Each structure stands twice: as C-alpha cells, then as structure tokens.
Amino acid sequence: MKVVGTKLDDSDFERFQKFCTDEGISKSEMMRGLIRKYCDTCEEKLQTPTEIKNSTITIIRD
C-alpha cells in the first residue's frame, strides 16, 4: 500500500471527522472509498473530473 496525505484547514477537518464518525467509518476508509470512486469514474469516462466535484458519494458497505 502507498500513503496519500493532505493538509486541511480546521473547519474542513472537523466536518470530515464528524461525517466519518456519524457514518461509523474511519477517515482512512472514507478516503480510500472517495479515491476509488473518483478513479473508477474517470476510467469509465462517464463524467469529467470537473463534474465529479459536484457529485454525491454513497457509502456501500460490503
């Protein structure tokens, strides 16, 4: 596995952490899911990266 990281301002971090906690999923799991969905969508060429920014993410637990 590789590591991907980024810095967030305090308010974005708090919001992200709250959403992850509310969903009962770790921040790492959420990031992996978001990245996977972004890459899958780009590969399928169903949307352009610009359109993805405004998409809705649905969490599906296996």
pLDDT tens digits, the chain, 62 residues: what are they? 888 888 999 999 999 999 999 999 999 999 999 999 888 888 877 655 565 566 666 666 65
Q: How many residues does the chain have?
A: 62
Q: Token pair for residue 47? A: 């949307």
pLDDT computed for residue 47 by the predictor? 54
> What is the pTM assigned to this prediction?
0.62
pLDDT computed for residue 1 by the predictor? 86
Taking the CA atoms of 3, 61, 14 and 54 in sequence, report the sign of the dihedral they define.
positive
pLDDT computed for residue 16 by the predictor? 95
Domain edges within the chain = 28-62
